Amino acid sequence: MTPLQDHRTLVAALAAALGPATRVIETHISTLLLAGEFAYKLRQPLALPFLDFTSLAARRHDCDEELRLNRRTAPDLYLDVRPVLGTPAAPRIGAPDEGAGAIDWLLRMRRFDDELLLDRLAARGALGAAEVDALARGVADFHASLSASPAAWGDPEGVLRWARANFAALGAAHELQDLRDWTEHEFERIAPLLALRRAQGRVREGHGDLHLANIVMRDGAPVPFDAIEFNPALRHADTMADAAFVFMDLWRHGLRALAWRFASAYAERGGDHEGLALLPFFAVYRALVRAQVAALRGDAAACARDVRIAREIAQSRRARPLLLLTVGLSGAGKSTVALELLQALGALRLRSDVERKRLAGLAAEARPTPAQTETLYSAAMTRRTYARLGSLAGTLLDAGLNVIVDAAALRRPERDALRALAEAHGAEFRLVECVAPEAVLRERIARRAAQGRDASDADQAVLTLQLRIVEIPASDEAALRLDTDADIATVARRCAALAARLAAQ
């Protein structure tokens, strides 16, 4: 018998031993047995261009690696590695310490409800903003917990080789020539940034396969699992390659607004706004990876769909992007409006409250001490904050991405500086003034302070000061006024109408 025939005999015997309700699922490299509360995963004894599982030692190593990698994000799902003892026709699963005489190895995992996979939630319209926000925080925190990869990983030329490999695998070069050309040109643009980020330690041992079908809701939180273990080159990559996979797959499931929401929230949480300049390249690459997977399954329709998604994302890079500034007094709803507009327009948000604290080494929701407050809101720190917003906005505009700056910008020079920045980077500039009655502003500030979950530290005294010094946008600034004195649904509709108006201009 061949090794693959032995494997199938072994699987059939294990399934029988585990009970009549056991389900067997075969992927292109593994076999899973689902029985009771557990799942058992064996490697098929295959040699493919990207892996070699023909030896027992290689299969055990791969099980060990999968356990190590996935315990980082899903420790309660990944239990242990166990030997398979006996013969292929009469096997038994041993204890972890019974390795002597093993004929194979398997990974034991805890099962979960498949209906809570994020791709299933997306398919039935049950994946919303709360889940996506939690996912953005989780992915950003996961990436922040990782050490920089060894110098052997993350060479920019290796990134290009993997991107080119998609086209080699998909074939039909004449049908993909536009994407091939886009990939080559885009790589030329980002190659220096890839090299810089590698030197800065942004190449890390991430997940490698972070699409929605590899994330499940457990206890109200999104839990990534099934990281790539068989080829380290596919997971030792720029962290934006992971984030871009989520972005692409949300887009792929028809959730473009949530895709932009995720990307913006991911960068806001982790502070990696510069990395978003890589987002279009890696998202197109990930869409073509999914197209390649569909092609391997013989699913021509899915392959064509994923190629279409790659084209849509490539075309989302704008020759003349938009820099939109939301301004207004504290409590006027700037952040809410910016969040609604970024989803409707396909943009990325920069919040002055968050970046000010990041410059001071504080978490976004941290409440500063009186001494910290004096430094945090000094004129010098305000200048640094607006300089930082301008620098980040310029980087993203140069990448062809729309940017929304969420800042009070109560003085005209602050607004004019961002208007000049847009012009310098070949971008359109729009100013949105958020307004509400003073009583509403004060009620919102009080409620926000009581909740203690927002980055803003503005209190009633700050609002009183703002009302005294504010320079209302003049007529030549062409500000678009947006009244936020309404319930959230009404404000959302007003934002959608404004976004449609901006998109039509």
CA distance 71 to 66: 8
Rounded to 10°, the helix 438-451/460-469 angle is 140
pLDDT value, residue 173: 55
Q: Where are the beta strands (DSSP E) in 44-111?
A: 47-48, 51-52, 78-86, 91-93, 104-110
CA 480 to chain CA mean position, Å? 31
pLDDT value, residue 176: 93
pLDDT value, residue 172: 65
To the question of domain 322-504 being in CATH 3.40.50.300, the answer is yes
Contact call for residues 82 and 93 (beta carbons, < 8 A): yes
CA 348 to chain CA mean position, Å? 13
> Which strand (E) or helix (H) includes residue 283?
helix 279-296
Question: CATH 3.90.1200.10 occupies which residues in the chain?
Answer: 118-315
Q: Is 95 exposed, middle or buried (0-12, 13-18, 19+ CB in 10 A)?
A: exposed
Tell the CATH superfamily of the 118-315 domain. Answer: Aminoglycoside phosphotransferase (APH), C-terminal lobe (3.90.1200.10)
CA distance 324 to 347: 9
Q: Which residues neighbour 191 within 8 Å (Cβ) at sequence distance 6 or greater?
A: 156, 160
Question: CATH 3.40.50.300 occupies which residues in the chain?
Answer: 322-504
Length of the chain: 505
DSSP code at position 253? T
pLDDT value, residue 450: 87
CA distance 266 to 253: 19
Q: Is 50 exposed, middle or buried (0-12, 13-18, 19+ CB in 10 A)?
A: exposed
Q: 427 in helix, strand or coil? A: coil
Give per-10-residue mean pLDDT for the chain (505 aa). 92 96 92 97 92 95 98 98 97 94 97 97 97 98 98 95 93 82 97 97 98 97 96 95 98 98 98 97 97 90 96 93 97 96 98 95 90 89 96 97 96 97 98 97 92 86 92 96 96 96 85
pLDDT value, residue 174: 57
- Give the position of tokens 């194979």: 104
Region for 346 from its dihedrals, namely left if φ exceeds 0, alpha if ψ lies in -120 to 50, beta otherwise = left
CA distance 504 to 477: 20
Residue 116: both structure tokens together:
């809570």
CA distance 477 to 410: 13
